[in-house]
Amino acid sequence: MTEIFSLKGQVAIVTGASRGLGYEMARAVAQSGARVYLTARGADQLAVAVATLRGQGLDVVAKAFDLAEPDACVRAIAEIGAAEGRLDILVNNAGINAWEPLAEAKSATWDRVMGTNIRGPYLLCREAARLMVAQGYGRLINIGSAMAVAGREKITAYVASKHGLAGMTRALAAELGPKGVTCNMMAPGYFLTDINTTILARPGYERGVSGRIPLGRWGNPDEVGGVVAFMASKASSYMNGHVLVVDGGLTETFVLPVDG
């Protein structure tokens, strides 16, 4: 049973991996035996993350680049492919949000969110797929959001980008599946990460959201790692084009925060 979940001998990339959910995804994939390239914009924080994981005996490498820069995306995959001679797993986790009421929305905000959340993953998938198709095997895993299956006010660009990423996932699954490469999405809900510090500081916000989740709480970052490791493994071999929501039941149920 252990063998089917093993990633030994495989090479993986996890973007946005210097902290939060991405860090836990990278750690879980590395714990399953893969050599993992952690990527992020900030080289300093990335170096700390890699040093911590190496201290745990894991095979990890830092690769700093900006997902919003098209040339950097292409170059990163090329350099990793040249160094390793293969690429088995790509986890597109990095993304950004922007809070703007529609009446105040700026075109620049739309471009910035789409550049990071859609164009970046698209280019990385394109370049990674070339390597994966050549070797006849690969796992493309896009990280969406509960907003990939729902909607919310004042974050229109973000919601649109995550719905778009879900569509891209399905399109790539159809095109690449016959060539041995699967493409799926994991869509996390509310998690206790430092990126959510601002909204967690709002009076009653954490409790209010928890009241809408059947499990009655926000997720912990380490609850996503195993999900991604499974999606990267042979255990998920017949899963393709799927959006796997990990949100405690938030988007699949109608839970009122009060009785009645």
Where in the chain are the domains? 2-245
From residue 242, how far is each of 92, 149, 156 by CA, in Å?
15, 12, 23
Each residue's pLDDT, cut to its tens digit, for the chain (260 residues) gives: 589 999 999 999 999 999 999 999 999 999 999 999 999 999 999 999 999 999 999 999 999 999 999 999 999 999 999 999 999 999 999 999 998 999 998 999 999 999 999 999 999 999 999 999 999 999 999 999 998 888 888 899 999 999 999 999 999 999 999 999 999 999 999 999 988 888 888 898 899 999 999 999 999 999 999 999 999 999 999 999 999 999 999 999 887 655 54
Residue/partner pairs of 195-201 with CB below 8 Å, 24 or more apart: 195/19, 195/20
Inter-residue contact 189 to 244 (CB < 8 Å): no
pTM exceeds 0.75 = yes
With contact defined as beta carbons under 8 Å apart, do 219 and 44 qualify? Answer: no
Angle at 61 between CA 29 and CA 97, to 5 degrees: 70
Instruction: Report the catalytic residues.
Output: 158
**How far is the C-alpha of 75 from the C-alpha of 94, rounded, in Å?**
17
d(CA 118, CA 160): 10
**Which of 3.40.50.720, 3.90.550.10, 2.40.50.140, 3.40.228.10 would CATH assign to domain 2-245?**
3.40.50.720
